[in-house]
Amino acid sequence: MRKLLIMLVFTIITLAACSENNAEDTEKAEDRVTTVEVGEVTEGNLNTVRTFYGRTMPNQTIPIMVQMAGEVTELEVSNGDEVEEGDSIATIQTQQGNIPVEATADGTIAQLTAKEGSIASNQEPLATIVDLDTLTVQLQVPDVQVDLFKEGEEVTVRMQNNEEETYQATVENTAQMAGETGLFAIELSIDNESANLKAGAVATVEVTETVVKETKLIPTSALVETNDETFVYVVEDNKAKKVEVTVKSTQSTHTAIEAEVEKGAQVVTNGQLTLSDGSKIEIAEEE
């Protein structure tokens, strides 16, 4: 009997100690302050950037033809030379005498293969004059993306050999009928007088598409997703308030939502995985 009483007293003491420890742990948890990073709730459109690929082309290509076949006795230009309309290009010796060849437009000499002493044909161009002051970029897009291009609007263009530099291109034409491939042709123009881009280069065209209009936006990093709910923690009086949200659409940086949160409210973007509703928090200072 005495042994039983001793065991009973020992059990009561142990339970009391455990109860005190649990109370201390609970009190410590309630007093714990978690340092977090935050972002802001904004309103606006959720946009994404669509990327297309094309190739730059001269705005105009004019062949230089000779009237009669003959020997090139004088050649006064080289590929890449700038010429003006009326400039002398070459002299061709024919059965009817020497025939001068002149530039028929302003531009740059290209595709010149003739040399002095070679025979120039009157069936094929001696060379071409290309207009590089304006470049054309041609794209092929599916029907669901044709409406991204509005004639007269500008889009961003990058060159594959220098993707850090950006240029503005104007939408000149959008095809109303698909080609043989089932895609629609889009034609853009770039002012090349100061850019000095090369014709034939691969161009990356970036177009902004609005995914969701006039919506509440939060940093995507603020979202917390579990098996049965999606929520964020809103900062209120130095505490984390759990607010359920409905995701409309998400991008890498921002997400469109429906939720009972106000524009300008702060949401926790880092440190939220250790929080619960009502947790005490402090906002980390920006470095």
CATH number at residue 103: 2.40.50.100
Say whether both 137 and 104 belong to one domain: no
The count of structural domains within the chain is 3
Say yes or no: 156 and 114 in one domain.
no
**Please, are residues 199 and 107 in contact by the beta-carbon 8 Å criterion?**
no
Q: Which CATH number belongs to the domain containing residue 146 in this structure?
A: 2.40.30.170
23: which 2 tokens? Answer: 């109370």
Residue 39: CATH number of its domain = 2.40.420.20
Q: 200 and 230: one domain?
A: no
In this structure, the answer to whether residues 52 and 186 fall within a common structural domain is yes
52, 192: one domain: yes
Q: Is residue 27 part of a domain?
A: no
Asked whether residue 52 falls in the same domain as residue 144, the answer is yes
Q: What is the CA radius of gyration of the chain?
A: 36
Among the candidates 95, 124, 153, a domain finishes at: 124
Same domain, 237 and 249: yes
The whole-number pLDDT of residue 35 equals 93
Residue 153 lies in a domain: yes
Asked if the structure places residue 171 within a domain, the reply is: yes
Q: Name the domain boundary from 190, 211, 232.
A: 211
- Given a contact cutoff of 8 angstroms between Cβ atoms, the answer to whether 94 and 69 are in contact is yes
End of a domain among 183, 211, 239? 211
Please indicate, yes or no, whether residues 278 and 218 belong to a single structural domain of this protein: yes
For residues 207 and 220, membership in a common domain is answered with no
| Residues 52 and 179 both lie in one domain | yes
pLDDT for 9: 45
**Do both 145 and 207 map to the same domain?**
yes
Q: For strand 97-102 and strand 88-94, is the pairing parallel, antiparallel, or unpaired?
A: antiparallel
Q: Which among 89, 111, 113, 100 has a CA at the least distance from the CA of 67?
A: 100
pTM across the whole model: 0.66
Q: Are residues 219 and 198 in the same domain?
A: no
Joined together, the tokens standing for residue 220 give 């995507």
Sign of the Cα pseudo-torsion (162, 168, 173, 175, in order)? positive
269: domain range?
32-46+213-283
Task: Give, for all 287 residues of the chain, the pLDDT tens digit.
Answer: 555 445 554 555 554 445 555 544 444 445 689 999 999 999 999 999 999 999 999 988 999 999 899 999 999 999 989 999 999 999 999 988 999 999 999 999 999 989 999 999 999 999 999 998 999 999 999 999 999 999 999 999 998 877 788 999 999 999 999 999 999 999 999 999 888 888 888 999 999 999 999 999 999 999 999 888 999 999 999 999 999 999 999 998 999 999 999 999 999 999 998 999 999 999 987 76
